[in-house]
Amino acid sequence: MAKVAFLGLGVMGFPMAGHLAAKGHAVTVYNRTAAKAADWVARHGGAAAATPAEAASGADFVMACVGNDDDLRAVCLGAAGAFAGMKPGAIFVDHTTVSAAVTRELAEAAEAAGLGFVDAPVSGGQAGAENGVLSVMCGGAEEHYAAAEPVIAAYAKICRRMGAAGAGQMTKMCNQIAIAGLVQGLAESLHFAEKAGLSISDVVEVISQGAAGSWQMANRYKTMEEDRFDFGFAVDWMRKDLGICLDTANETGASLPVTALVDQFYKDVQKMGGGRWDTSSLIARLRKLG
């Protein structure tokens, strides 16, 4: 078993850190809001630290799941950052969805400090984190990934190295691009069924058995039908991720016309007050349009 620090106890990080403790790892947690760290310790044991550096002190692995590029820099760098507290040879594993550029920047900083760095964004949402069945896509040196993978396995259904530093983030972008189009297509299909006077349950039962079937259809059609949108990844975070996708597409020359369009649809949902609704709320926008 390893000595592990976990930085960031949001809807994803809280249960992920819990799975590490349940597997017998010695876990120290850090969260910007100290009360949440205290709550985690009350539930799972372990210890809480006042700074990322303190949490990382003596750890074999330091996991992070925070908000964005700036948040990640804040927990990594500076006198109170994790890199300052990590022992030589320790490995930093970043589960945040951030830009590949900041990943490469921090991987270089880690290497200069004698540390390993694995970018390891996740897919599966809050339910996947709670049930320990996340998909984890990783970038970094082979030896760092090989060392970290057995620890990541505490909350992973699948974990795979996709290439050098930044490759995990690039793969996560592929994931978000695919989801954006799928959810919009599902929203339009259900909206069309409603307008046509069809039973959504009957429609889904039939078409889900063919080429139209998807995880989104199986897991979200009923809550979409019932206008319930508190079952997963928030629109605000999806727009952050799609912004990263579109910025990277401009850099690489990739064409993402559907992604760009769906990003604007999510902007409409935010204007409706749905920033914290889950991504399936695209159907609410269609219903508002009539």
Which residues are tagged catalytic?
A: 172
Could you tell me where the DSSP H helices lie in the chain? Answer: 13-22, 34-44, 52-56, 69-76, 82-85, 100-112, 125-131, 142-152, 167-195, 200-207, 215-225, 235-252, 257-271, 282-289
**Which amino acid makes up residue 10?**
G
Distance between CA 267 and CA 274 in Å, rounded?
Answer: 9
In angstroms, the first-to-last Cα distance of the chain is 56
**Residue of 140, 138, 80 lying closest to 106 (CA atoms):** 140
Pairing of strands 134-139, 122-123: antiparallel
Residue with tokens 């992070």: 64
Sign of the alpha-carbon torsion through 24, 30, 36, 37:
positive
Please check whether residue 66 is in contact with residue 11, taking contact to mean a CB–CB distance below 8 angstroms: no
**Residue of 124, 254, 126, 108 lying closest to 179 (CA atoms):** 124
DSSP-assigned letter for residue 278: B
Tokens of 24: 């017998």
Distance between CA 221 and CA 217 in Å, rounded?
Answer: 5
